[in-house]
Amino acid sequence: MAFLELAGLRKNYGAFQAVKGIDLAVEKGQLVCLLGPSGCGKTTTLRLIAGFVPANGGEIRVGGKVVSSEHSTVPPEGRNMSMIFQSYALWPHMTVFQNVAYGLKLRKLPADEVRRRVDEILASTRLSALAERYPGELSGGQQQRVSLARALVIKPEILLLDEPLSNLDANLREEMRFEIRRLHDEFRYTTVYVTHDQSEAMTTADLIVVMNDGLIEQAGSPEDIYARPETEFVARFIGGTNILKGRRGDGQTVLRDDGLALVCRSGTVAPDGQTAVSVRHHDIVLSKDRPGDSGSNAAAGTVVRQIYLGSHRDYLVSLKDGETVRALAPVDFAVPAGQEVWMRFPPERCRALSR
């Protein structure tokens, strides 16, 4: 039995359906990322788990116990969960130590127990030297670690994070992704993490749940989601990809109107004839001459633009029908705009999408 279960969970705001009957099973100690664009329902789902809003249908179960249904809702304070918000929500008049100790004092733990647990968590989050500072004297990354320490010190059954790194600059965001994963590996709390950033999800998650329009599009490991997307939405949202539309040919072949035939070694060609192929930017092989062993998976195109990015060049190439394909190439492969190049789409890197 999963530790956290969502079964047919629904949430409406008037006529608007924010969450449309989702099912999800989270194992104890797992870190799950709810990933998707703004308005997809991920934050509403997190608020339902926390108990901040009541469900209109379905159930939430923790350890087999129903904590939320359309008939009853256990209040947030009765769920033994900790939540970390975008804004950190630290008390500005309290020191780091006092902020972290606050939840333990509310639970009326003995003073020596409070001191011991706070000292331990400050050491784990590398904040011991900052214990007597106030939030206004800390950097954004330090404030985020205080927020994490305060959430972890009460030993919650479930840790909830709502876009926790959105207020940090790019370098700090990257650093904190690894910090969150390190702390999860140390404490192994069951964690639900909301983000719109695929890099955060890929770095931190055991399980990525891609949401779109109030529904779960796909759930799987980071490798599954990236390498084996099941829908066009997931393929586009996770990593750079090209989506080439066509119709069903023989077997796993997709035929395009411009004459390009794409053999796909993975995925499922749609049975109704119309289908699409996902191929990542970095998987396309560019050459100045037609590949000798290309088979059907090759086409000529015209360079629309190429950008030098230091480690590689980023190409935009127009096919015969005017559709453009983005591809990455080594820096020593330099073809100016307006000239012809050949593209090879390796069959083992072409994935057919049925929806």
Distance CA 229, CA 218 (A): 8
- Residue-level pLDDT at 249: 81
In this structure, are 134 and 77 located in the same domain? yes
CATH number at residue 251: 2.40.50.140
Total residues belonging to the chain: 355
In this structure, are 329 and 303 located in the same domain? yes
Domain assignment present for 97: yes
CATH number at residue 183: 3.40.50.300
What are 100-107's contacts with CB under 8 Å, separation 24+? Answer: 100/127, 100/146, 100/149, 100/150, 100/153, 101/153, 102/150, 103/150, 103/153, 103/154, 104/153, 104/154, 107/154
Of 191, 206, 227, the one marking the end of a domain is 227
Q: Into how many domains does the chain fold?
A: 2
Of 205, 227, 249, the one marking the end of a domain is 227
Distance CA 22, CA 219 (A): 12
In this structure, are 55 and 165 located in the same domain? yes
pLDDT tens per residue, the chain (355 residues)? 799 999 999 999 999 999 999 999 999 999 999 999 999 999 999 999 999 999 999 999 999 999 999 888 999 999 999 998 888 789 999 999 999 999 999 889 999 999 999 999 999 999 999 999 999 999 988 998 999 999 999 999 999 999 988 888 888 888 889 989 999 999 999 999 999 999 999 999 999 999 999 999 999 999 999 999 999 999 999 988 999 998 888 878 888 888 888 999 998 887 776 888 999 999 999 999 888 765 579 999 999 999 999 999 999 999 988 899 999 999 999 999 999 999 999 999 999 997 7
Are 300 and 342 in contact by the 8 Å Cβ rule? The answer is yes
- Residue-level pLDDT at 291: 82
In this structure, are 281 and 198 located in the same domain? no
Query: What is the residue type of 188?
Result: R
The tokens describing 12, both together, are 């409406």
In this structure, are 223 and 245 located in the same domain? no
Domain assignment present for 253: yes
Are 189 and 29 in contact by the 8 Å Cβ rule? The answer is yes
Range of the domain at 339: 240-353
In this structure, are 218 and 151 located in the same domain? yes
Distance CA 300, CA 289 (A): 9
Domain assignment present for 234: no
Domain assignment present for 199: yes
- Residue-level pLDDT at 146: 93
- Residue-level pLDDT at 293: 62
In this structure, are 41 and 126 located in the same domain? yes
DSSP state of 73: B
In this structure, are 153 and 208 located in the same domain? yes
In this structure, are 219 and 345 located in the same domain? no
In this structure, are 109 and 16 located in the same domain? yes
- Residue-level pLDDT at 259: 83
CA-nearest of 282, 334, 342 to 307 is 334
In this structure, are 193 and 314 located in the same domain? no
Domain assignment present for 342: yes
In this structure, are 136 and 182 located in the same domain? yes
- Residue-level pLDDT at 251: 78
Q: Taking CA 212 as the corner, what is the angle to CA 211 and CA 214, rounded to the nearest 5 degrees?
A: 90
Of 227, 249, 274, the one marking the end of a domain is 227
The tokens describing 303, both together, are 């360079």
The tokens describing 53, both together, are 């809003």
